[in-house]
Amino acid sequence: MSVLSGKKIILGVSGGIAAYKTATLVRLLIKAGAQVQVIMTPASKDFVTPLTLSTLSKNPVYSSFFNEEDENALWNNHVDLALWADLMIIAPATANTLSKMVSGNSDNLLLATYLSAKCPVYFAPAMDLDMYKHASTLANFHVLKEFGDTIIPAENGELASGLSGEGRMAEPENIVAFLERDLESKLPLRGKKVLVTAGPTYEAIDPVRFIGNHSSGKMGYDIAKAAANLGAEVILVSGPTHLDLKHPLVQLERVTSAQEMYDACHRYFNAVDVAVSAAAVADYRPKNVASQKIKKNEATFSIELEKTKDILASLGEIKTRQFLIGFALETENEIEHAKQKIQKKNLDLIVLNSLNDSGAGFGKPTNKVTFIDKNFLVEPMELKSKEAVAQDIVNKIIAHYHA
């Protein structure tokens, strides 16, 4: 999965011959999983048609502040466009457009959107050799870098004038690769290893029956995905669940029982920086597992249970540098019980769920949690989607390493 997947990208196209390459660029961005909104300067339409870029981006292409053919049409709001974007690319960025970006001359929709952008801005210069080397162009590069914009350097090659040298817009494949490398280098969890447990465990009674619970595993899977999306290398140890997660930074290991999950966690724990115990692990298991299916012969039936190993407590006993996060599902005296778990299991943070809160608990798309850290700082959160809660948990990890 590309780091561009899910990103909302504005592609600004200015009027240079290299504009013909933007068709390929749009196609590659879409292939990487991005959403693309194209804004063209009026001059760029002489080099590539809006219809081409609209078809490839699957979005209407904007090039003016209003639809001149429809006097009743709403204006194209450059502020809304700018706020929509996760990042903005101006390619090709001609000498004329670069000059306007520096001076703040917003005489077209693309420049007005650029001036309104709050997101990271990348620009790929394209012009002839002498123009590229001119002192005014070099000065503009310097100013734009001071603005916080990122240059995608031009390449050497044959130019429209017939000369050969620097000034050729970077090839679309290289632009995409540059964006991916730059974004990956800035991911806050890059270089960190995170262990996440998810789902229930099933404790066998016989070859057919088991003791389990209603955990769907969604919370743990969402945490794993959120951490991986921010650059972490994630090991996801999952109990039985219908969920799946395909991500180049996620190693998924499926287990069934509490003992299998215990073994997997201890196999990986020493090598990780963070462990998040989101699984609903069985507290007890049958002491004796029947080798054959138990027949229904008696009116009553008893199973002797024994305690399973406490995975989280065992990790707390051996942790050295790891940031250890646990979950607590309570129905009464929630805060006090959660604080006791922090001390007993040597946790850095606990995520408290209360079954008394509407919208929280197993099998629901939402969750309402309270964060309690090892200093007993209590931070109640509002009801959110599990994806949003996962992001809040990952933000706690980021805050720990960037405090």
List the catalytic residues: 213
User: With contact defined as beta carbons under 8 Å apart, do 344 and 369 qualify?
Assistant: no
HSE of 326, CA atoms in CB hemisphere, 13 A: 25
DSSP H/E element including 185: helix 172-185
Judge whether 357 and 345 are in contact, CB under 8 Å.
Answer: no
User: Which residues are 13's β-sheet partners?
Assistant: 40
**Cα dihedral value 169, 170, 173, 176, nearest 10:** -100
In angstroms, rounded to a whole number, what is the distance separating the alpha carbons of residues 403 and 400?
6
**What gap in Å lies between CA 218 and CA 62, rounded to an integer?**
39
Distance, CA of 55 to chain centre: 27
Q: State the Cα–Cα distance between residues 54 and 227, nearest whole angstrom.
A: 34
CA torsion 73→76→77→78, rounded to 10°?
-170
Alpha helices by DSSP H, listed for 186-333, are 218-229, 258-268, 311-318
The angle formed by the CA atoms of residues 178, 181 and 187, to the nearest 5 degrees, is 140
| Helix ranges, 287-385 (H) | 311-318, 334-345
Q: Identify the three-state secondary structure at position 62.
A: strand
8 A C-beta contact, residue 209 and residue 289: no
Q: How far apart are CA 139 and CA 189, in angstroms?
A: 35
d(C-alpha 220, C-alpha 89), whole Å: 34
* Side chain identity at residue 205, one-letter code: I
Residues with Cβ < 8 Å from 359, sequence gap 6 or more? 366, 367, 368, 383
